[in-house]
Chain A
Amino acid sequence: MNFKHNIIFSIIFIFLVFSVYPQQENESIDDLFEEPAEDIVVEDTATDHLTQFEQEDKVNFSGSFSATGGGAVGWKDTPDFADPLKGLDAEVGAKSLARVKFQAKPDPDFAVTGNFYTEIDPGSGDTDWSDAEIDELFCDYTWLDTAFIRIGKHTMSWGQGRLFSPGNLMSGSEDGVAFRVSFPSVLSGLSFVSLLDENLIPSDSSLSSKDVAAGALLDTLIGSYYYSVGARYQRYEGLRILNSLKRVVYKTDLFTDLVFTYDDNKEEYFFQTVAGFFREWADFKLYGEYCFDGKTYGGDDHSIGIAVGYNNIFSSPVDFGLEWKHGFMDNSGKFLPGVSWSPWKFVKAYIAVPVNYGTSGSRYYNEDDEDLSGRRVACVMSLELSASF
């Protein structure tokens, strides 16, 4: 009898379970097909959607202001856990930055752009705003929709590496005055550049037209590969040639930069290379790179780097970031985890824990990081109030 009851109970239970679960309804979009709007035939209005981006605009100003305050605590040397207070150092500080940008587009084919900033850093003893610095100031001219010309103080970036960038032959171009003419329809783009920068000459020389750094970059698609070849020559630096390759494999960007340098003054040459990957998910990004730098004597300068970005951790307004670089040559490195949090509009809080490791004098050990006071292990906290206009 009990056995029978058990059987009956089991059957009722199973029935209930299966009768309850089908009631779980999910949102559906099939009802959109019950009485949908009829398909329509529209006239080709030949609207030029580009005009909204190209229309002339006399002068347009924008800018931003930020005030940051915070503190840092840490050790200026590798902490001694037997005596944790030894070498412990702390400080607080604050600074403000004001930035103004203007864009003038008197004609759809001509534009002038400028970006200036000034800052005040009471922590370093400055009680006045600094003189205005020019971040960028350049003009653009489009010639017959064929050539794009940019002249002035501006940034250029070549190569694919982000954590290690020997392939960026135009690194630091914003420090000088650069000229670039690009023919975007030649393969995937052909550019000629020249750069005049006093940082490229010996300190006891004066800048002349012979000191111009000249270069060219060609981008093209070869099958699924995005290939770039570029070269730059400057009489004090020698010749540098870049070969760069990138493609997407199984949802991952793979890339490599190979740089050959020939210094005709010293009659020496060397190679540098970077190989890496990039993968992106909805809120998560991952970079990884390997670098070999043949410029370092001995030929054993190998490094790796990883960068991670994770937005909105646990659906919160907190973002996490991490960068780690390690040099195998002297086993030094830097490790920088940090979070940012936007509790209110215009307000952002940052916490970072920079760690530089290695022996004294090694590559990364003495490199300044998020903690500008040169602490090797620190906790840095700051609060930023910023607004754009």
Chain B
Amino acid sequence: MKINNFIIFFMIFTTSIFAETLKDYQNLLKKVDNLVTFEDTDLSAEYTIVKRDPDGATSTNAAAMFRRDRTDQFLILILEPVVDKGKGYLKIGDNLWLYDPVGRSFTFTSARERFQNSSARNSDFRRSNYYKDYQVISGKKTSLGKFDCFLLELDAVSEDVSFQKIKIWISEDNLVRKIEDYSLSGQKMRTTAIPTYQKVGERWVPKKIVILDHLIYMEVSGKNVYERTTISIDNPSLKELPDTVYTKEYLEKVNS
């Protein structure tokens, strides 16, 4: 009888500890989101995106990105390559529009799809929303190079995300350092590294992001070489922007 009581007590105790830990991890996601979300200001910056194909060929895109986190809007205007200059991506709610300055037309595109044919997804430019979009399944302490991190496994609770399962490494300063994206079936899709951040105002912006696309690879000397995209983010600015920037009319205006 005493043993049974002990077992019941032990189970309740461990379950509550476990639940409490998961709750703590979930709250950690809120802190992560808060650190990189600019609720009070607009954020704009220059993005340079260099894609290296598995065969070594490289291509470069440059873009100006304008983001308003409080309304979950963004506008991206392509600067390079010249043939795509003026092309723009505009996010209004869940709808993402792609403006083609040649045909002067707006077409649908998906927030989940590849940005300018690189390993980056259009959704990588929106505000961080781990707390609302994912639920922590498990977590543990680990190390990642010089960083002591929490490694969390997350399952999506929102249909709007690009990947249904992810693993994220969060360093002690509550910044996401590494992400592994998985499909629902568990296939690894992408690995993202953010080794360096830059602090602007009270919030943080990645300085450099490296993405490996595990679906595009080539075997070289017995080693799988993946498509690799390196994103450099420069000259971040918190200058307030007019509301009209996040509109279709603005895209038409800058291309007239």
Chain A residues proximal to chain B, CB less than 8 Å: 23-50, 52-54, 103, 105, 111, 113, 136, 138, 140, 142, 145-146, 148, 150, 154-155, 157, 182, 184-185, 188-189, 221, 224, 226, 246-251, 253, 278-282
Contact = CB atoms under 8 A, between A and B. Distances in A.
Interface stretch (B13-21, B24-32, B109-117, B128-136): B109-117
Given A185-B243, A224-B93, A32 B210 contact: yes
Contact of B199 (A26, A41, A50, A278): A41
17 contacts: A27-B217, A30-B144, A33-B147, A36-B145, A37-B208, A39-B197, A48-B239, A49-B44, A49-B46, A52-B79, A103-B256, A136-B104, A140-B256, A157-B106, A188-B92, A226-B93, A250-B159
Nearest to B177: A33
B95 A25 contact: no
The secondary-structure label for the interface of chain B is strand
Contacts of B235: 45, 47, 49
B200 A27 contact: no
A37 B206 CA distance: 12
Nearest to A139: B256
B146 A33 contact: yes
Contacts of A31: 145
B145 A30 contact: yes
Contacts of B66: 49-50
A355 B104 CA distance: 30
B35 to A, nearest CB: 11
B178 interface: yes
Nearest to A191: B249
Interface in B227-249: 228, 235-239, 241-245, 247-249
Given A221-B93, A224-B94, A226-B93, A29 B210 contact: yes
B170 interface: no
Interface centre among A24, A53, A155 (most CB of B within 10 A): A53
Contact of A37 (B110, B204, B207): B207
B223 interface: yes
Q: What 4 pairs between A and B have smallest CB-CB spacing?
A: A33-B145, A184-B247, A36-B195, A53-B254
Contacts of B44: 47, 49-50
A237 B192 CA distance: 56
B89 interface: no
B201 interface: yes
A281 B121 CA distance: 11
Interface string B139-164: 00000111100000000000110000
A26 B146 contact: no
A306 to B, nearest CB: 16
B196 A33 contact: no
A188 B95 CA distance: 12
A142 B93 CA distance: 25
A41 B223 contact: no
A135 to B, nearest CB: 10
A184 B212 contact: no
A13 to B, nearest CB: 20
Contacts of B253: 111, 140, 142, 148
B22 interface: no
B104 A49 contact: no
B58 interface: no
B147 A247 contact: no
Given A189-B248, A226-B92, A23 B199 contact: no
Nearest to B210: A29
